[in-house]
Structure 1
Amino acid sequence: MPEFCAADTLYAAFHGNMQVPPLTEKMPDLTLDQGYKIASEIHARRLAKGEVVAGRKIGFTNRTIWPIYNVDAPVWGWMYDSGVHDITSDGVITLPLLPEPRIEPEIVFGFKAIPSPEMDLTALAGCIDWVAHGLEIVTSLYPAWRFTAPDAVAAVAMHGALWVGPRLAPTADRLEALTTCGITLSGPDEVAIGHGVDVLGGPLMALQHLVSQIDRMPGAEPIQPGEVVTTGTLTDARPIAPGETWSTEFDTPLLSGLSVTFKAG
């Protein structure tokens, strides 16, 4: 399967709410950089259709879940205005029509300055305008969530949509709490536990990794002021369905949990 055909296939699958076999079934030697090239071609198609970049998502930063998904590296992908929303006061969220949707509790950053690869964590923190807790809805264009890291990055990094909670000041103590915090994700008859440190050592470290990897996507520009970056799930992702209520709770008062109810799209 030529790479341009792979981009066509995944673009059609995403916009048609369909699933396709993993690319690596026909392209067993697919590399992560080739996956980024396919993703860049899909991105070009979306921009040509009028979509507007809202920011980036980092996937698979939580190393505790790598064995579950058969991946061995973080990946990143684009987010667009059409899929990034603030959580409303009533917490009701329309669940997009996506294959096998799952929920991921994450830490989200908004930017006021352009971060660069040579920056240390202190300098990176100085680029952040606000920090928030958010919920990413992820999707698998491949049946049963079976794929490799190159498959994942090619498939828009498994991103479906992002809902962002209240924006908070990036104070030194709050940024420190992002690493030391624990979080509980609760839904119908199940609970998942996670920690900030699981995300590549902390969300700021995940951001640092993203900044160092942006040029793996052909034509990708640095993160711009006004962009949003979500840094990866703090727990394992959980399947979700309309009618369900899910909530999160942190073990620190510096971060606030969320409660949302999904309605059919």
Structure 2
Amino acid sequence: MIEESQVAKLGDALYEAMVSGRPTTKISEIAPESTITDAYNIQSRMLARRIAAGDEIVGRKIGLTSRAIQDALGVYQPDFGQLTRQMLYQNGDAIDMGALMQPRAEAELAFVLKHDLRGPGVTVTDVIRATDYVTPCFEIVDTRFSDWKIRIQDTVADNASCGVFLLGEGRADPRDIDLSLAGLVIEKNGALHSTGVGAAVQGSPANAVAWLANTLGALGITLKAGEVILSGAQAPLIEVVDGDELVATIAGVGTCTARFKGRAQV
């Protein structure tokens, strides 16, 4: 564990990096002894700075759902970050690359809640009952560090490497489809880029949401009605540059279109 004063200093540094577009030093380099708990405390400090500046929490994201990424970071459970209103884009919007540093896109399923979810003890059935609808989305992951060669402390502290997110136009009742079998097709600039399936996310995206509800519940935090929950990537990360267009289609749910303009800051 690291000192509270250092947690505040590192959280402030991440916030300043986000605002300025200048990378900060990795947590794993400054404080290699830091724990995952320390990293979440740093994340909280960074988000507190965002909220104090006028932003607000609108949901959560789940990351590290891929076994390959878990193996690379040496951690064998997902992580989570916070979604804020200023991160939100709508279907078809042009994402401003100038507000990001080292962006990459990933397609996934977003859950929008109609009832609160509070763990522990939340099951997949509880998740389905509490969900208003699901929709395709793109999360644009980003890092406020010098490169993507990061450790678990780094990504957790950096709000689970979340940049912005974009919600699709299709909506579906999760009771009407098998979320684990619903196929994903991603097109980049009009050509097939990659495919995926819901089962790639902890066996089902609903499993990931249940994990989040139970993990946060143990911390006294409730997932609230109206919040958006990004359940985790169903396909590999996608490099994006100015002028790119991505379209994600999830069978039985709908599509999500993201366009990119400008140059990233780094």
TM-score (normalizing by structure 1): 0.88
Whether the 8 Å contact between 1:100 and 1:239 is mirrored in structure 2 is no
Secondary structure of the equivalent of 1:259? Answer: strand
Are the counterparts in 2 of residues 70 and 147 from structure 1 also a CA contact under 8 Å? Answer: no
How many Å apart are 1:185 and its aligned residue? 2.4
Q: CA deviation at 1:257?
A: 3.1
Per the alignment, residue 243 of structure 1 pairs with 243
Contact 1:35 1:151 in 2 (8 A): yes
Q: TM-score, normalised by structure 2?
A: 0.88
Deviation of the 1:69 alpha carbon = 5.5
Q: 1:236 to 1:143 in 2, by over 3 A?
A: farther
CA distance in 1, matches of 2:185, 2:84: 28
- Give matches, 1:33-44, under 5 Å: 33-44=37-48
Query: Are 2:112 and 2:134, in contact at CA under 8 Å, matched by a contact in 1?
Result: yes
- Residue equivalent to 1:260: 258
Separation (CA, whole Å) in 1 of partners of 2:163 and 2:110: 15
8 Å contact from structure 1 (residues 96, 160) kept in 2: no
> How far 1:186 moved relative to its partner?
3.1
> Partners in 2 of 1:170 and 1:54 — Cα distance?
21
Distance in 2, matches of 1:123 and 1:85, equals: 28
Aligned positions of 1:153-164 closer than 5 A: 153-164=156-167
Q: Kindly tell me: are residues 92 and 37 of structure 1, through their superposed partners in 2, closer, same or farther at Cα, counting changes over 3 Å?
A: closer
Distance 2:107 2:78 in 1: 16
- The alpha carbon displacement at 1:163 in A equals 0.6
State the SS of the aligned residue for 1:144: coil
| Alpha-carbon distance in 2 for matches of 1:108, 1:96 | 25
Percent identical pairs in the alignment equals 25
Q: CA deviation at 1:43?
A: 1.7
CA pair 99-190 structure 1, distance change in 2 beyond 3 A: farther
User: Offset of 1:26 from its aligned partner?
Assistant: 1.9
* 2:33 aligned residue (29, 35, 57): 29
1:150-171, Cα deviation, whole Å (9 max, x unpaired) = 2111011111111101252324
Identify which of 149, 153, 162 aligns with 1:146.
Answer: 149
Contact 2:248 2:255 in 1 (8 A): yes
Q: Select 1:209's aligned residue among 204, 208, 211.
A: 211
Given that 2:137 and 2:165 are in contact with CA atoms closer than 8 Å, whether structure 1 keeps it comes out as yes
How far apart in 2 are the matches of 1:21 and 1:190? 37
- Determine helix, strand or coil for the equivalent of 1:180: coil
Q: Which residue of 1 aligns with 2:7?
A: 3
* Separation in 1, partners of 2:192, 2:24: 29
CA contact (8 A) 1:112 1:127 kept: yes
Change (3 A) 1:102 1:39: same
Give the one of 78, 82, 100 matched to 1:78.
82
Name the count of aligned residue pairs.
257
Q: Cα–Cα, structure 1 residues 72 and 142, in superposed 2: closer, same or farther, change >3 Å?
A: farther
- 1:102-117 counterparts in 2 under 5 A? 102-117=104-119
Aligned with 2:60 (options 21, 41, 56): 56
Deviation at 1:62, TM superposition (A): 2.1
**Deviation by residue 1:132-165 (Cα, 9 ceiling, x = unmatched):** 0001111011223111122111011111111101
